[in-house]
Every structure is written in structure tokens, then in C-alpha cells.
């Protein structure tokens, strides 16, 4: 027993010191140690790290301007020929929305932390765990595919500059107002597709409606697109005929593309979406300033809502509803009536007068005074 007490007295300061160091480096992580470590008490000498679960790591996106403009990659000093690589982080970050955001490069990027490549990938090429690339391999795996798709080649001097020709001065931004390096990408307002189907020759796509009103993020349609999408120096061969599923992949997440072709396909250019015409529910009276998500709370689902007011507003009565908000102040006779006296079956758009007045109709005869809203 005495030996156990002595051992605890000796080990306790060590464990406290180790834990304090752990807390300082893991302060913002809401993780279980077992997510990354295979042993109960990982140490610096034996971290017992599990193989990197790349697809299950915590990853967040930050605004491009929140990161550095230029990164000088100089941890690999195994050559006397090339200078450190000047990496334009801001330019790559600005366009990362088209390829998946920050997680394209930062596979592990928890809130409050930006985990660099060297935090996980070893500088030494001689390593025990060969399932995880060393730092040099990780850099090249990350960069080489995009550069190949862009220029068709992966020459060393695409990224590496000879020492005597190196210039590590910061890159100047193109637009001083927005501090952006990449010129502004102007999105189209409308795109008219000419299709070959007999369901309807034209598909009119109002781009701004989808992004501004329906809240669709760029990456939902443009994921996994690199700079080569616009800047490729390779002459692309003609694309093979795509299947029905491939042609409608981007639209099918929101639209019924199999049974409701006429919603998108027509033999003429379609008008912009009008909520009243398309759904029978007029937004202009009281709901025009609301975002779609205020009523359509399920992402990418805009159908199936009950049009009755009580669906969102609950049960109205003269005690909890100010009628002048409708633009009509009720007169003394009507102000104390129950709502159902005029609004049959809780239909608030078309009040009925005939139950009390044989010779009066709405809106010819008003139960009060109109005011400006």
C-alpha cells in the first residue's frame, strides 16, 4: 500500500503537467481522445495516433479574407536548387467554394483552429506509418491534380522557382476595394438552355432566384470544380452523351425531374417564378419581405405547406389580433365579432357578409375604414 501511495505522489504532478499541456493545445476541441488515439494515455513519445479518418474529421469553412494572403512554404529544405514556394493562399481560398471550401486542403479544421499540413504530416520521408503521406507527398498530392487538369503538365517549375530568380514579395490585390486577388466572378441573371427533348425545347434557369431567394449555396451546384473549369489550357474533347440522371443531377435534389417535366421544360422562354401564379398564395400582401426559409423550413423542400394562416400563426381572435395591420380598421359594429363570423372555415382572404347582410358584399361594402399600411 505504501508503494502505491508513493507511486501516485510521483505520477500525479506528471499527469497534471501533461494534462495542462494537452488542454492548452486542445482547448477548442470538443472531442474524445479515442477519436484520434488508440491508447488511453497518449504521450509525446508515444501518441499512438490512429490512421487519419479523412472523411470523418471536423471541418469548417472560413471567409477567404480571414486567412493569410501569402504563405511561404519552407519546411522542406532538402534541395539547394529551389527557393521556398510562395503560395497564394488568398487566391486559392477565394475560389475554394467551387471545390468544397476550406476542407479541400484542410482535412482537419475544427472551430478556432486552422490545422496546417505539417501538424499531421511528418517532414521525414522515413516514417513508421506509411498509410499517411509525408509532408512532401501531401503537398504534391494536394496540388498536382489541379495543376494537371489546368495545364496538362506538372513541371517542377510550375510551383518551384530557382533560388536566384526567387521573389517572395506579397502579391498585389487586383481590387483594392474588396481586397480580392481574383477578379469578381459575375453570376448570370438568367440562362436559357436549348434541349433536345420532346417534353419542351427550352429550360429557363433564373440563377439569381436560386441563390438570392431559395438560398442555394454555390457549392451545391458547382462542387468539385477547379480553376480548370474556366482557365484550362487543354483543348477538351467533345463530351459524350450524358444519361438522364447525369443531365438532371443538379436539379433533382429539389425538383421532381421524373414525373413533372413541364415544371422546367417548355416550348417558350419561361417567366420568372411568381409565387401567386405558381402556388396560389399571394406574398405581396403581408409576406413579401420574408425569406423563403421563414416558411419553408426544410432545406431544398418548397412544397407541401398548408396555406391556412393558422398553420404558422396559430389561432387568432379579436383579443390577440390587431386588424388594422391588414389595412382595414373595423368599425364599432364589427370590431367585437369573432373572426369566424366573417371568415368562414378560417379563410382570411375572402370574408363573407351574407350571413348577416343580404344586400352587402365584400369588397364593395367594407366593415370599416381603409388606411395606409
Is the residue at 84 inside a domain? Answer: yes
Report whether pLDDT(127) > 50.
yes
Q: What is the CATH number of the domain that holds 92?
A: 3.90.10.10
Both 143 and 93 in one domain: the answer is: yes
Is the residue at 10 inside a domain? Answer: no
Both 105 and 175 in one domain: the answer is: yes
Q: Which of 98-102, 178-182, 319-323, 347-351 has the highest mean pLDDT?
A: 319-323
Is the residue at 16 inside a domain? Answer: no
Spatial contact of 285 and 327, defined as CB atoms under 8 Å apart? no
State the residue range of the domain holding 268.
191-228+246-286
Both 330 and 277 in one domain: the answer is: no
Both 117 and 179 in one domain: the answer is: yes
Q: What does the pLDDT read at residue 206?
A: 93
Both 153 and 210 in one domain: the answer is: no
Name residues whose C-beta falls within 8 Å of residue 28's C-beta, 6 or more positions apart in sequence.
110, 111, 112, 113
Structural domains counted in the chain: 3
Report whether pLDDT(9) > 80.
no
Rounded Cα gap, residues 29 and 26, in angstroms? 5
* Confidence band of 11 (pLDDT split at 50, 70, 90): very low
Residue 204 vs residue 349, higher pLDDT: 204
Q: What does the pLDDT read at residue 4?
A: 47
Spatial contact of 63 and 38, defined as CB atoms under 8 Å apart? no
Q: What does the pLDDT read at residue 203?
A: 94
What is the tens place of the pLDDT at every residue in 263-304?
A: 899 999 998 888 888 788 888 778 888 878 788 877 667 777
Is the residue at 177 inside a domain? Answer: yes
Both 315 and 359 in one domain: the answer is: yes
What the block records as the C-alpha cell of 63 is 471567409
Both 98 and 165 in one domain: the answer is: yes
Of all residues in the chain, the percent with pLDDT exceeding 70 is: 82
Kindly report the pTM of this predicted structure.
Answer: 0.54
Both 179 and 59 in one domain: the answer is: yes
Which has the closest alpha carbon to 298: 234, 215, 240, 230? 215
Report whether pLDDT(355) > 60.
yes
Q: What does the pLDDT read at residue 35?
A: 64
What is the tens place of the pLDDT at every residue in 142-161?
A: 888 788 877 777 888 878 88
Is the residue at 102 inside a domain? Answer: yes
Residue 18 vs residue 188, higher pLDDT: 188
Is the residue at 30 inside a domain? Answer: no
Report whether pLDDT(364) > 60.
yes
Q: What does the pLDDT read at residue 170?
A: 55
Q: Which of 145-154, 204-213, 217-226 has the highest mean pLDDT?
A: 204-213
Is the residue at 75 inside a domain? Answer: yes
What is the tens place of the pLDDT at every residue in 13-57?
A: 433 343 333 444 454 555 667 766 778 888 877 777 666 666 666
Rounded Cα gap, residues 347 and 333, in angstroms? 21
What is the tens place of the pLDDT at every residue in 298-343?
A: 766 777 788 777 778 877 777 788 888 888 899 988 888 888 888 8
What the block records as the C-alpha cell of 219 is 457549392
Both 75 and 163 in one domain: the answer is: yes
Is the residue at 77 inside a domain? Answer: yes
Both 319 and 275 in one domain: the answer is: no
Rounded Cα gap, residues 230 and 183, in angstroms? 13
Both 152 and 268 in one domain: the answer is: no
Both 263 and 318 in one domain: the answer is: no
Mean pLDDT of 88-97: 82
Give φ, ψ of 109 to 5 degrees: -145, 70
Amino acid at each position: 500500500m505504501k508503494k502505491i501511495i508513493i507511486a501516485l505522489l510521483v505520477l500525479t504532478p506528471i499527469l497534471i503537467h501533461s494534462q495542462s499541456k494537452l488542454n492548452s493545445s486542445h482547448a477548442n476541441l470538443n472531442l474524445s481522445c479515442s477519436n484520434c488515439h488508440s491508447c488511453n494515455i497518449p504521450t509525446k513519445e508515444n501518441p499512438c495516433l490512429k490512421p487519419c479518418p479523412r472523411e470523418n474529421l471536423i471541418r469548417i469553412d472560413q471567409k477567404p479574407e480571414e486567412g493569410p494572403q501569402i504563405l511561404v512554404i519552407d519546411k522542406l529544405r532538402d534541395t539547394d536548387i529551389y527557393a521556398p514556394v510562395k503560395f497564394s493562399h488568398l487566391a486559392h481560398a477565394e475560389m475554394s467554394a467551387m471545390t468544397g471550401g476550406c476542407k479541400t486542403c484542410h482535412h482537419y479544421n475544427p472551430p478556432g483552429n486552422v490545422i496546417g499540413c505539417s501538424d499531421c504530416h511528418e517532414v521525414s520521408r522515413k516514417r513508421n506509418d506509411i498509410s499517411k503521406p509525408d509532408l512532401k507527398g501531401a503537398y504534391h498530392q494536394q496540388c498536382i491534380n489541379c495543376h494537371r487538369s489546368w495545364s496538362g503538365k506538372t513541371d517542377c517549375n510550375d510551383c518551384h522557382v530557382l533560388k536566384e530568380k526567387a521573389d517572395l514579395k506579397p502579391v498585389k490585390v487586383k481590387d483594392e476595394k474588396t481586397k480580392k486577388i481574383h477578379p469578381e466572378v459575375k453570376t448570370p441573371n438568367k440562362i436559357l438552355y436549348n434541349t433536345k427533348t420532346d417534353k419542351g425545347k427550352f429550360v429557363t434557369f433564373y440563377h439569381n432566384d436560386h441563390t438570392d431567394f431559395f438560398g442555394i449555396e454555390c457549392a451545391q451546384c458547382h462542387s468539385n470544380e477547379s480553376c480548370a473549369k474556366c482557365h484550362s489550357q487543354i483543348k477538351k474533347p467533345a463530351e459524350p452523351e450524358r444519361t438522364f440522371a447525369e443531365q438532371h443531377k443538379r436539379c433533382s435534389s429539389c425538383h421532381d425531374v421524373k414525373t413533372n417535366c413541364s415544371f422546367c421544360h417548355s416550348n417558350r422562354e419561361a417567366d420568372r417564378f411568381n409565387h401567386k401564379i405558381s402556388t396560389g398564395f399571394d406574398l405581396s400582401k403581408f409576406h413579401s419581405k420574408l425569406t423563403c426559409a421563414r416558411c419553408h423550413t426544410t432545406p431544398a423542400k418548397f412544397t407541401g405547406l398548408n396555406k391556412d394562416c393558422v398553420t404558422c400563426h396559430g389561432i387568432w381572435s379579436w383579443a390577440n389580433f390587431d386588424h388594422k395591420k391588414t389595412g382595414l380598421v373595423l368599425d364599432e359594429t364589427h370590431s367585437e365579432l369573432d373572426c369566424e363570423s366573417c371568415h368562414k372555415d378560417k379563410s382570411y382572404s375572402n370574408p363573407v357578409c351574407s350571413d348577416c347582410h343580404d344586400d352587402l358584399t365584400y369588397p364593395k361594402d367594407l366593415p370599416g375604414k381603409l388606411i395606409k399600411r
